[in-house]
Structure 1
Amino acid sequence: MAATVKDAEGAEAQVTLDDQQKINKFARHNAKLQDIKDELKTKQKELENLQDAEEELLMLDGEDEGIPYQIGELFVNTTTEEASELIEKAKGTVQEDISQLETHAESHKTVLSDLKVQLYAKFGNNINLEAEED
């Protein structure tokens, strides 16, 4: 049995199983997109931290005393050159992760856009698919 929704003019629109599945799909993709956005913020902050560490290493120019570098939960002493290489490698990995996350975000945005068009066409102002501002 399909539920009915009244619009502003009093006309009724049937909420079919297909419509409900589209709404559920929209909700799933929207939740995934929000998770990706949160992860992107984390990765961008990590990239900023790596860039800051790289700048700090440049200021140590020529000093080869043991530079502590964190690997997991362990700190190891490295030379300035080794630390610089490790930071460059980490930056490359983080940049790849950011690129992949942005690609995933775009695919979710495309699906959400298509679903918005379909759902707004059927339900008009009776459905709100816009994200709430924090």
Structure 2
Amino acid sequence: MVTSRGDPIDICDDEGLAVRIRPPLACYANYFEVGHNAFEFLLDAGQITPESGEIRLMSRIAVSPVHAKLLARLLARSVDQFEHAFEPIPDLTEEGDDGADFELTSPGEFERRAIDARRRTIADPARAPGKPVSNER
């Protein structure tokens, strides 16, 4: 068993001996695919190389629809907490784009949107990295 923060803890094995359990190593991911069928959601995580557009998928997680909805809520809450504590995160969708087809974009389009979002952040001094965020909501 591992704590919610990922700290290792000691547990007893079948013979009553203490065993130290460590959390898995983290892998960086900057590319995601999400699919679903009637029974599960499939979340693929990987890395994209912007220069070549090469994608290397590293992990697939399958979750039930109920757990997918819980994960979506948890992630949304975590993003809100991050933005409240640090700064707004740039939005990769185009102006006036609701993002409905965002998952269908090519790797090149994904990278172009990421670059554009970074440029918008830099161009808007109120959203520049490191600038304190107002607690007003």
TM-score, length basis structure 1: 0.28
Structure with bigger strand share is 2
* Larger RCO: 1 or 2 (CA < 8 Å, sep 6+): 1
Structure with bigger helix share is 1
TM-score, length basis structure 2: 0.27
